[in-house]
């Protein structure tokens, strides 16, 4: 099997150069083999700082965006994190090194089956998945310390906002088509505070 250590080190240096300074996030990226999450025909491109197509017209996000979103969650290792959109499973695998447990929802069964297979292969045991409508969240597990969306709603569903603990953080791409921003939402005693941090392009959140 191809050794990607050089490519992985180069990616880490690229991310540092782009302002990702959180050592725990960079360490998680170094530990997770991104090549396993991309189609075999694209494995030579696994450590390029680019999004790549996966099955069912979905994508695996650009490593810089994964790192930026992960850093914005401000994880300490104790959190329960809800992920909307399992996709390839790559983001959940990164999170698994940085929090207590990940709860991940995917609406496309083939993607969920493949991601679960990869989690087993990598012996990742703190990711729980389910097939379902991401817009509804995971009410039976709520409230969560953190929520991350890997697909973009036109605006954040109130259902998901209500599943964040007071003091918790949500990171999500929001908007339509090319007009999307990555936002950080903090739940306070008085409501919600929102900050836009980056223009992005994600697949849309599809309800149902």
State which of 4-13, 55-64, 74-83, 195-204 shows the largest mean pLDDT. Answer: 74-83
Domain ranges in the chain are 5-200
Are 167 and 181 contacting, i.e. CB atoms less than 8 angstroms apart? no
Residues 6 or more apart in contact with residue 21 via CB below 8 angstroms = none
- 32-79 pLDDT, tens digit per residue, is 999 999 999 999 999 999 999 999 888 999 999 999 999 999 999 999
Q: Quick count: other Cβ atoms within 10 Å of Cβ 40?
A: 8
CA 189/CA 201 separation, integer angstroms: 31
Q: Which of 27, 51, 61, 158 is catalytic?
A: 61
Q: Is 104 a catalytic residue?
A: no
Q: Token digits for 134?
A: 């991401």
The answer to whether residue 1 scores a pLDDT higher than 70 is no
Residue found under tokens 């900050």: 195
Residue found under tokens 């999500």: 172
Taking the complete model, does pTM exceed 0.75, yes or no?
Answer: yes
Check residue 19 and give its pLDDT. 97
CATH superfamily of 5-200: Vaccinia Virus protein VP39 (3.40.50.150)
């Amino acid at each position: 099997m191809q050794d990607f250590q050089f490519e992985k080190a180069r990616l880490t240096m690229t991310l540092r150069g782009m302002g990702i300074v959180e050592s725990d996030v960079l360490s998680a990226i170094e530990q997770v083999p991104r090549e396993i999450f991309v189609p075999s025909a694209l494995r030579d491109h696994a450590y390029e700082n680019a999004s790549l197509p996966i099955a069912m017209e979905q994508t695996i996000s650009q490593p810089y965006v994964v790192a930026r979103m992960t850093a914005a969650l401000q994880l300490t290792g104790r959190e329960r994190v809800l992920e909307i959109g399992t996709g390839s499973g790559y983001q959940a695998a990164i999170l698994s090194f940085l929090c207590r447990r990940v709860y991940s929802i995917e609406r496309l069964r083939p993607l969920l089956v493949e991601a679960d297979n990869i989690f087993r292969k990598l012996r990742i045991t703190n990711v729980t998945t389910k097939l379902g409508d991401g817009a509804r969240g995971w009410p039976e597990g709520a409230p969560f310390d953190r929520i991350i969306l890997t697909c973009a709603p036109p605006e954040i569903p109130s259902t998901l906002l209500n599943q964040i603990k007071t003091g918790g953080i949500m990171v999500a791409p929001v908007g339509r088509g090319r007009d999307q921003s990555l936002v950080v939402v903090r739940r306070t005693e008085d409501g919600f505070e929102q900050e836009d941090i980056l223009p992005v392009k994600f697949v849309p959140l599809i309800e149902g």
